[in-house]
Amino acid sequence: MSTALRKKMHQDLQLAGLSEGTQHVYLRAVRQLAVHFDTPPDVLNEAPVRDYLLHLKNDRKFASSSLGIAYCAIKFFYSHTAPRDWPTLQRIRVQKEKRLPDVLSIDEVRELIGAVRKLRYRTYFSTVYSLGLRRNEGLHLQVRDIDSARMLVHVHRGKGAKDRFVPLPARTLALLREYWVTHRNPVWLFPDIGSDQRQAVSSDRPMSKDAVQHAMERVMQQLGWRKAVSIHTLRHSYAIHLLEAGVNLRLIQQDLGHSSLQTTMVYLHLTTVSQEQAIAVINKLMEP
């Protein structure tokens, strides 16, 4: 894909309001289409594009999530950047796999965080868990986001550009203060420390997502756990622990920043507490 065409698609993605992460994967998916045929994507006609989509599904056996990204990216390109009126674009569908995420118990979360050696990563993981944040939400936290008077955190950079306030536990505030004293960056709570670990105070950007992901991989290797644990697992675990503690599902939805309650309701399938409570109530009602 030529530089000019890539730039145009990038601009179209920005105008559509898609996140930086989505922009990146869409551009990559269309580039892979061009590489497959060694032809600029705006030159291709419907037949080879149709064959390519079937190739991803039947030959390369893409998982539903990967297939969905490829479909959406290609559909976006031929709907916005190089508009085509193709029936194939209207028909493509991906059946979503209903996978339940792995979660950790409270004791497992404590063990994981306690095993992290470096203070910056230990504080970051604690913050992500105790506030129910997405990876990038945690990385982009700023000093001004912390309202210690009301014990709230203002999450500005949530998914879909939606702001929200989440409760700030006293222990998390203490950890953030302890870590901030080590770098004193006036903007970022988790600044990029640089290769010599001395530029943290003047850094104009947060830690990289690769850095925290590698930190998670190291601690998982150290612990020897077989669960598929990622940084997002801490967010899932936060939701489950709130639900098991009796917190209203609507409040959990607000804290997580979910647009739909249906998204939050997946956590009902990961806990038996609600079912056990219902059985207890029914048994109580049936007492003579």
Check: CB of residue 9 under 8 Å from CB of residue 81: yes
Identify whether 250 is a catalytic site residue.
no
Identify whether 235 is a catalytic site residue.
yes
Tell me which of 135, 235, 236, 241 is the catalytic residue: 235
Could you tell me where the beta strands, DSSP code E, fall in the chain?
146-147, 152-155, 164-167
Q: Which residues of 94-121 are buried (b: 16+ CB within 10 A; e: fewer)?
A: beeeeeebbbbeeebbeebbeebeeebb
Check: CB of residue 171 under 8 Å from CB of residue 113: no
CA distance linking residue 5 with residue 10, whole number of Å: 9
CA distance linking residue 287 with residue 139, whole number of Å: 53
Identify whether 129 is a catalytic site residue.
no
> How remote is the C-alpha of 159 from its chain's centroid?
8
Tell me which of 78, 129, 179, 267 is the catalytic residue: 267
Secondary structure of the chain: what % helix, strand, coil (to 5)? 60, 5, 35
Structure tokens at 264: 């939050």
Check: CB of residue 179 under 8 Å from CB of residue 123: yes
Tell me which of 6, 31, 159, 209 is the catalytic residue: 159
CA distance linking residue 235 with residue 174, whole number of Å: 20
Tell me which of 134, 183, 236, 241 is the catalytic residue: 134
Tell me which of 36, 154, 156, 232 is the catalytic residue: 232
Structure tokens at 83: 């508009």
Tell me which of 75, 122, 236, 258 is the catalytic residue: 258
Beta bridge partners of 153: 146, 166
CA distance linking residue 129 with residue 16, whole number of Å: 31
Residues forming the active site? 134, 159, 232, 235, 258, 267
